[in-house]
Amino acid sequence: MKDKKIYLIANLFLVCFLFSCTNKLKTDWEMRSPDGKIVAHLHMTESGQLTYQVSMGDGNEKFVLVEDSPLGIIRKDQHFDTLNFVSHERLKTVGESYNLSTGKRLLNRNHYNEFSFRFKNENGALLDIICRTYDDGFAFKYIFPESDESKYIVERELTGFDLPEGNAWMQPYDKPTAYAPAYERNYEGEMPVGTSSPGEEGWCFPALYEVNNHWVLISEANLKGNFYGSHLAATAENGLYKIVPPLENEAFGYGHVYAESHLPWEMPWRMIIVGDELADILESNLVTHLADSSQINDPSWIKSGRASWAWWSGYLDNTNDTPEKLRKYIDFAHEMSWEYSLIDAGWDYRKGFDLKEMAEYARSRNVKLLLWYNSGGPINRVNAGPRDKMFDPEIRREEMKRIAALGISGVKIDFFSSDKQDFMRLYNDILKDAAEFKLLVNFHGCTVPRGWSRTYPNLIAMESVIGEEGYIYHSHYENGAPLHCTILPFTRNVVGPMDYTPVAFSVQQVPHKTSYGFELALSVVFETGIIHFADQVEMYKRQPAGVLQFLKDVPAAWDDTRLLSGYPGDDVVLARQKGGDWYIGGINGEDINKKIEVDFGFLDGGENYVATIIADGEDNKSFNISTKSVSNESVETIDVLPIGGFSIQLKRIN
């Protein structure tokens, strides 16, 4: 009997020991990217708090890029901050290809490892965390997997991003107004990681960091109508940036700052792009990799392109949309072989304007029309029209049906002024309805892209940037624009199309410090599905023939994009490919002369190209145009003025 007791005690001890070891094994999980260089760790503390870490290395050396950072979510009925482990599985390794209708790279390979973790809180309520490791980043999302038709409320996330010491480039979140938040403040930096935002509103997504000799960009992806748009808190003590919901007074208090949905409930991806080089950030399409697949079965009707635009150049004399001027801009689009012409605000009440007649005239000139709308709604205090045509679903669908029947190709919808869930739902509903009527969509006064261009390829452009309009509305913009423009390719434009409305040589209310060469280069440096050229017809026609030919030829969607050189705030040189041809744009954000070296080593070996180089001239309002033959062994040094720029068109010699 004594031996039996000893045997039972020994077995009990063994079971307890094994149980303890098993639990220990289930408090830390490693996840590697397909190439093994990016490693994410999920860790559970003894008290049940979850953290994650992201590092990068080649086996000999490890660089921690995101230190142990908090996970968790607070629901009104349940807290998911102290958790117990339930299960874990590596779901799959995926290697798929998909096409975009516009963007920095149309054919994309989506290659990742996916891991699923299930936890429960002290009440037994379940929380899943899905993680993906990519060769260029890491992402995770929360899911409440249980089923219940009742409405549940997420009050806030505990999610954070704990960055090591380093540098940051970030955009302050807007103070709520009738026009904001609209992501229309200048990016700031470089500044130390952990710097507080200028106001209590916080920081925007996306945010760029240089830490441990590597680069990190954080944002969110695949945001649907079941959640709000997040941003980062105003303070980041010791580099810990925390996710926060929209501000209460956005949209003058309309809508909730919390999110609500029935169960199951899948939330947006929290996305971290990482790399050894800035090119890894700029060239990444991780935001669309994480988005749902296209909801449009046949996207062949969706075409990128270039557009004439009468509004910017007529702002001061209020002649931006008279019928006579609009026809002139349609004619110019025809002369330039541009696909579109945009009719902006106020067309619904302008004397002598008839939409049917204008659509017929544009059709006769082989130009497609795009129409501006105010997003409208009960709290929209911007009176510009047409308004209240896009907020109510029935009215919206009727208006879309009407203009589609007239041959209108797309809509530009403005003034959303909030990232609350109601507005995320509105964005998604507009895209869905527009797709049904085969209308392109360009959002202005809006949130930042979150991968929607993959799910709804008819989303051809989004503003969410202070662009050429800054030279009308903001007296400070001439001083901030050069720095801002050299940060945007590494931040805002990484996550999706950016309707900056570039290439304005003339002056509206605020003069340019940038050179004509700088302005021309923006047509390549910035990416958007439709390039709305901002300036006057007369100003473009005064430019040299080589500049006009470049504007005729420059595409709006690309087969590939390469960062050739640059650093945010200093300068940037980008190469973009369309078919067998390449286009290069370079801008200097500093007020000093530079000699910028362009290495053509990215070109195919054994091929020769004719390079048309459009550089700064003797002053900042002139060009120096030259032509030469180049190959992938060529290197060209270009003289660039202070706050100047250059463009190069490369045509393959058959």
Closest alpha carbon to 239 in 384, 67, 355, 364: 67
Question: What is the model's pLDDT at position 365?
Answer: 98
Give me the pLDDT at residue 318, please: 61
Angle between helices 393-405 and 421-436 (to 10 degrees): 30
pLDDT at 444 over 60: yes
Cβ atoms 159, 71 nearer than 8 A: yes
Peptide bond into 386 cis (omega under 30): yes
Which residue type occupies 632? N
* pLDDT, average across residues 597-606: 96
Give the tens place of pLDDT for each residue, 118-134.
999 999 999 999 999 99
Asked if residue 65 has pLDDT above 90, the reply is yes
In tens, the pLDDT along 211-262 reads: 999 999 999 999 999 999 999 999 999 999 999 999 999 999 999 999 999 9
| Helix and strand numbers, DSSP H then E, in the chain | 13, 34
**Res. 18 pLDDT band, cuts 50 70 90:** very low
Q: Using alpha carbons, list the distances in angstroms from residue 645 to 501, 508, 564.
A: 17, 21, 14
pLDDT at 645 over 60: yes
| pTM confidence score | 0.95
Mean pLDDT value across residues 372-393 = 95
- Can you tell me which residue has the tokens 């956005």? 250
At 142 the three-state DSSP class reads: strand
H/E stretch holding 79? strand 79-80
pLDDT tens digits for 325-338?
Answer: 999 999 999 999 99
pLDDT at 538: 96
pLDDT band at 9 (very low <50, low <70, confident <90, very high): very low
pLDDT at residue 25, rounded to an integer? 44
- pLDDT score, position 302: 98
Are 301 and 404 in contact, with CB atoms under 8 Å apart? no
| C-alpha dist (Å) from residue 404 to 74, 407, 411 | 44, 5, 10
Q: Token pair of 76, please? A: 């009104």
Provide the token pair at 278: 């800035």
How high is the mean pLDDT of the chain? 94
Mean pLDDT of 613-638: 98
Residues 6+ apart with CB under 8 A from 296: 302, 435, 456, 457, 458
d(CA 452, CA 435): 13
The DSSP 8-state label assigned to residue 176 in this structure reads: P
Using CB atoms within 10 Å of the CB of residue 59, give its burial: 0 to 12 exposed, 13 to 18 middle, 19+ buried.
exposed
- Sign of dihedral through CA atoms 249, 253, 254, 256? positive
Task: Specify whether the CB–CB gap between 433 and 398 falls below 8 A.
Answer: no
Per-residue pLDDT at 244: 98
Query: For 130-172, how does the pLDDT look when each residue is reduced to its tens digit (9 = 90+)?
Result: 999 999 999 999 999 999 999 999 999 999 999 999 999 999 9
Q: What is the pLDDT of residue 60?
A: 81
Helices within 197-342 (DSSP H only): 278-282, 286-289, 323-335
Residue range 347-361: mean pLDDT, rounded? 95
For position 15, what pLDDT does the model report? 34
Whether residue 576 contacts residue 554, with contact meaning beta carbons closer than 8 Å, is answered with no
In DSSP notation, 449-486 reads --SHHHHSTTEEEE--S--TTHHHH-TTHHHHHHHHHH
Q: What pLDDT does 58 receive? A: 79
Average pLDDT of the residues in 475-483 = 93
pLDDT in tens, 28-45: 999 999 999 999 999 999
Q: Which residues pair with 79 in a beta bridge?
A: 74
